[in-house]
Chain A
Amino acid sequence: QSALTQPPSASGSPGQSVTISCAGTSSDVGDYNSVSWYQQYPGKAPKFIIYEVNKRPSGVPDRFSGSKSGNTASLTVSGLQAEDEADYYCSSYAGSDIWVFGGGTKLTVL
């Protein structure tokens, strides 16, 4: 049950787009459409922003979008805003009632 692989950091200027990758295996990301993404501010609990690879819950801006290709999922934040600066984690079902998280990516808005 290895963690999913995310880049430790990502950055972009206000208004730009940034994409965060989440690399798994054919046993987790590649085998299930159950990737979700979480946004976490310092000292706060995570909040889900994407589920089932590319679905957004109500209240999450459409600037956030998700996708998947093979064993890698991605989160794209378009039109970056200062409030998007946070840590982002992906998660995937890994079979046999097991879930796995990514290592997290710190997004900096320059």
Chain B
Amino acid sequence: QVQLVQSGAEVKKPGASVRVSCKASGYTFSNYVIHWVRQAPGQRLEWMGFINAGNLKTKYSEKFQDRVTITGDTSASTASMELSSLRSEDTAVYYCARKQSGEKYPFDYWGQGTLVTVSS
């Protein structure tokens, strides 16, 4: 069965960087796109960007363009998201989500989420 398993919770100081990984199994990794979505405590889902695991093309939300890097390792069926220059407002649960390439398809499988806490 399809599974996306994310790395564990992180606590970081302001100004630091965090890297969250997302290991896929149960399907051909390179046939799909991995998106990253975050959710601050009690807040809405917020789209951050994606990586096409087939051609490693990335796209980022304007809001995170300068601070986020999404990478993929097809040999390990793993996508990673690195967010730099962390501030308290980045405290959130970060999710990876799988999606077929193309605008009409939904985010059909989600990771379990990774809590990132930014605190001095």
Interface set of A (CB-CB < 8 Å, partner B)? 1, 3, 32-34, 36, 38, 45-48, 51-52, 57, 89, 91, 93, 97-104
User: In the complex, what residue of chain B is closest to A45 when comparing beta carbons?
Assistant: B110
Q: How large is the interface on B (under 10, 10 to 19, 20 to 34, 35 or more residues)?
A: 20 to 34
Query: Are B61 and A51 neighbours in the complex by a CB distance under 8 Å?
Result: no
Q: CA of A2 to CA of B107 in the docked complex: distance in angstroms?
A: 19
Number of interchain pairs (Cβ within 8 Å): 61
Query: Does B110 lie within 8 Å of A102, measured CB to CB?
Result: no
Supply 7 further A-B pairs (C-beta < 8 A) apart from A34-B103, A89-B44, A98-B59.
A1-B61, A3-B44, A46-B107, A46-B110, A51-B104, A57-B108, A101-B46
Question: Across the interface, which residues of B come within 8 angstroms of A101, CB to CB?
Answer: 37, 44-47
Separation of A57 and B108 alpha carbons in the complex (Å): 9
Q: Which residue of A lies closest to B57 (CB)?
A: A97
